[in-house]
Amino acid sequence: MATNPAAAPSGHIKGRKIRSILLKSVVVLIVFWAIASASVYAAMRKPPEAFARFMTHVPGPVAFLALPFETMWTHARAGTLAVGDPAPDFSLIKLDKTSRLQLSSLNAKGPVVLVFGSYT
C-alpha cells in the first residue's frame, strides 16, 4: 500500500483554506455582533419614543437572545440622580386628555409626592 506523495499537500491546503474561511467568518460575525450591540445601546440612551421606533425594526429574538440586552439596558438607563436630588421636570397628559400637568408647576404650589405602585 503505497501512498501518493502528491495527495498529502492537497489535503493540507484544503484544511488551511477551511480554517481560513472559518476564521474570517467568525471575525465577520464578531464585528457584526459588536456593531449591532453598539447600535442597540445607542438607541437605548435616547428617549423612550425614539427607542421604541428603533426596536420596531429589530427582530425580537435577535435582540433579546443574541445581544446582552439586559446588561446594556441597565447601563444605558441608569441615570445620574442621587438620593436627595430634586426630581427632573416632566409633563404628563391628564387621564381625560384635556390638558397636561407639569411637575415644576405643581412643585411651585407646594410639596409634591410621587407614588409609583400598583393597586391591583
Tell me if the pTM is above 0.75: no
Grid coordinates given for 80:
445620574
* Per-residue confidence band for 10, with pLDDT thresholds at 50, 70 and 90: low
Predicted confidence (pLDDT) at residue 35 exceeds the cutoff of 80: yes
5-31 CB burial, b ≥16 within 10 A, e <16 = eeeeeeeeeeeeeeeeeeeeeeeeeee
In this prediction, residues 72-84 reach a mean pLDDT of 88
Q: What is the mean pLDDT of the chain?
A: 86
Predicted confidence (pLDDT) at residue 47 exceeds the cutoff of 80: yes
